[in-house]
Amino acid sequence: MKRVLFRKILISYLIIAPILFVALELYLSNAIKSNYISKLRENLLIQSRLIAEQIPAAFTQDLDDFCKKYKEKTDARVTVINISGRVLGDSDELSEKMENHADRPEIREASINNSGSSIRFSKTLHKDFFYLAASLGNQGFLRLAVPLHDLEAAISDMRMRIAIASFTALLIAILLGLIQTKSITKSIEEIAKFSREVKSGNFRTRLFLKEKGEIGELAKNINDMAQELKIRLEHSQKEQHKIEKILKNMSDGLMLTDIEGRIFLCNPAVKKFFGIESNVEGKTLMETLRNTEIMDVLNKTVKKEEEISSEIAITHPYPKELHLLVTAVPFRYPPESKTIFGVVLSLHDITQLKKLEDVRKDFIANVSHEIKTPITAIKGFAETLLEGALYDRENAERFLQTIKSHSERLNSLVEDLLMLSRIEQGDIKIEKTGVNLNDVTDTVFTTLRNKADVKGIQLKKDIPADFHEIKADRNRLTQILLNLVDNGIKFTEKGEVKIVARCKLQDTSHKIHDAGKELETCNLKLATDFFEISVEDTGIGIPKHHLSRLGERFYRVDTSRSREMGGTGLGLAIVKHLVKAHGWNMRIDSIPGKGTKVQLICYS
């Protein structure tokens, strides 16, 4: 890790130290110089008073010698100036050669304040001097001058001392800063390393620092924060996993969109409904679903800001129509916001409910129609008998036979409805035992022999001699074959109705169809697990477009012909449910004019 922090601190020291040195030097230089000048002025002022007492009363004589004498005693240049500014005596130069000093700053100040001072360069001696002038009253002025080279030497020496002290302090500060910064940067590096580990998802690592104080407390807080983050992240991941599992396994479709219809979230059920395989997040509803009805529901929800529900029908990718209940609920984020953030769309598959509703309507209509016909006939013939036909022996007997026939038909209808209801409700239990198919076939043929003989139809069976007994409910299997053979006899004018049984030696996927519709795929591993029983006739056959509806209640290919033969329209529906209760499958193949084959695919 780059020692950026150390470099910053070092550079800061290197910048701050010279600034402090310069500021200290300027301050101390001025302070020392001012103090030195102040002391010097006081000393010179005292000396000037002592010398002034020795000056002759009259300035008539040459005072150069007098000035030289006191220079030796004071080590200061001594100058006597009269009131007009003429130099009367000087310790360093001949007074008569010196210019008038009335304009000197110290002289002007002394004429006002009795004393004056100034620092300036002497043109005579070519040095900086400190001048002090003291007033002698009307006689003139006494001036003492001291060169400042000692002051400059003292200040230079002081500056050198300050530089050495500052440099030494800087080195000590850098050394201490290096030691302290190294400790701090090492702790920070460990914290940074720890944070990288946490960032990468490694929450097992721990941060141990020897530092005390704020850094130690920071390390403790970071450790605690990492542990809390781990707990919250695990909790968040668990919740997210739950939500993902719920969304993935929901049978209902769920989508989250913005108010423009752009998809944020979509579960697999929606893709299944609309046959979508690609990712739809980030795309619009129209772009992915291509359904204007759903967009209308979304737009109404956004406009009214309330829950909207609507039923829609889609055909793609299903071969038949799929009905969905679409519910759109607006949501706001944050919750206290007044603006709609997006819309939650739920899609519930109500196709089966629609089918059941249609079946219920058809069932009520068909039952009403089927019951109404015999009841109307019974009522009509009964009224005819009551009106006098009862005493007409020839017609009365015929009317009573008709009433009996319709009552039997009505009774058969009720029995078939009750049977069908019991099968659907699970009241009829299938108890499989070992059943001999030959015996069951003989029982069926014996029951229907007279009916077949009347039409000249032969009843045959093709069951191999080595065909083993099968696992089935004997009574229900008998009922299945009775209905199928009876139907074959009804719709066959000449020829035969045959029961055929075969074992299937097959170990591959075998597709089974129920009335022309694919039901399931069974992987068969043992030959004895799979066999077929077929009821074949040479009758009128069934057109192909009717095959898909065979097995529905009251559905008849030829309505008038079926009723004339006494059928209730429920026989094949009962067969279908009994076959399903056995865990078997059924398919029907037919060629108009050549016959029909009802095939039962049975599993042991």
Domains and CATH numbers, the chain: 1-53+148-207 (no CATH), 59-146 (3.30.450.20), 250-348 (3.30.450.20), 355-423 (1.10.287.130), 429-603 (3.30.565.10)
Specify the pLDDT at position 569.
62
Specify the pLDDT at position 256.
92
Taking 90 as the threshold, does the pLDDT of residue 564 lie above it? no
Contact 570, 554 (CB under 8 A): yes
Taking 50 as the threshold, does the pLDDT of residue 508 lie above it? no
Taking 60 as the threshold, does the pLDDT of residue 563 lie above it? no
Specify the pLDDT at position 447.
86
* CA gap 201, 83 in Å, rounded: 97
Q: Token pair for residue 63?
A: 């005072």
Name the residue with higher pLDDT: 317 or 361: 361
pLDDT level of residue 296 (50, 70, 90 thresholds)? very high
- pLDDT tens profile 389-427: 777 777 777 788 778 877 877 776 676 667 666 666 666
Contact 146, 129 (CB under 8 A): yes
Specify the pLDDT at position 363.
66
pLDDT level of residue 1 (50, 70, 90 thresholds)? very low
* CA gap 441, 446 in Å, rounded: 9
Contact 578, 419 (CB under 8 A): no
Q: How much is the average pLDDT of 64-82?
A: 87
Taking 50 as the threshold, does the pLDDT of residue 514 lie above it? no
Specify the pLDDT at position 420.
66
User: HSE of 382 in the Cβ direction (CA atoms, 13 Å)?
Assistant: 10
Specify the pLDDT at position 491.
82
Specify the pLDDT at position 325.
93
- pLDDT tens profile 517-555: 333 333 333 344 678 889 999 888 877 766 665 656 555
Preceding peptide of 464 cis, ω within 30°: no
Q: How much is the average pLDDT of 146-169?
A: 77
pLDDT level of residue 510 (50, 70, 90 thresholds)? very low
* CA gap 325, 87 in Å, rounded: 124
Q: For the chain, what percent of residues have pLDDT higher than 70?
A: 81
Contact 98, 108 (CB under 8 A): no
Q: What residue has token string 């069974």?
A: 522
Name the residue with higher pLDDT: 557 or 217: 217
Q: Are strands 495-503 and 457-462 parallel, antiparallel or unpaired?
A: parallel
Specify the pLDDT at position 512.
39
Specify the pLDDT at position 345.
93
Which backbone phi and psi does 426 adopt, to 5 degrees?
Answer: 80, 15
Q: How much is the average pLDDT of 30-35?
A: 79
* CA gap 263, 388 in Å, rounded: 79
Taking 80 as the threshold, does the pLDDT of residue 17 lie above it? no
Taking 90 as the threshold, does the pLDDT of residue 226 lie above it? no
**Mean pLDDT of all residues belonging to the chain:** 79
Q: How much is the average pLDDT of 181-193?
A: 76
Taking 80 as the threshold, does the pLDDT of residue 104 lie above it? yes
Q: For the chain, what percent of residues have pLDDT higher than 90?
A: 7
* CA gap 417, 375 in Å, rounded: 17
Contact 80, 104 (CB under 8 A): no
* CA gap 599, 518 in Å, rounded: 14
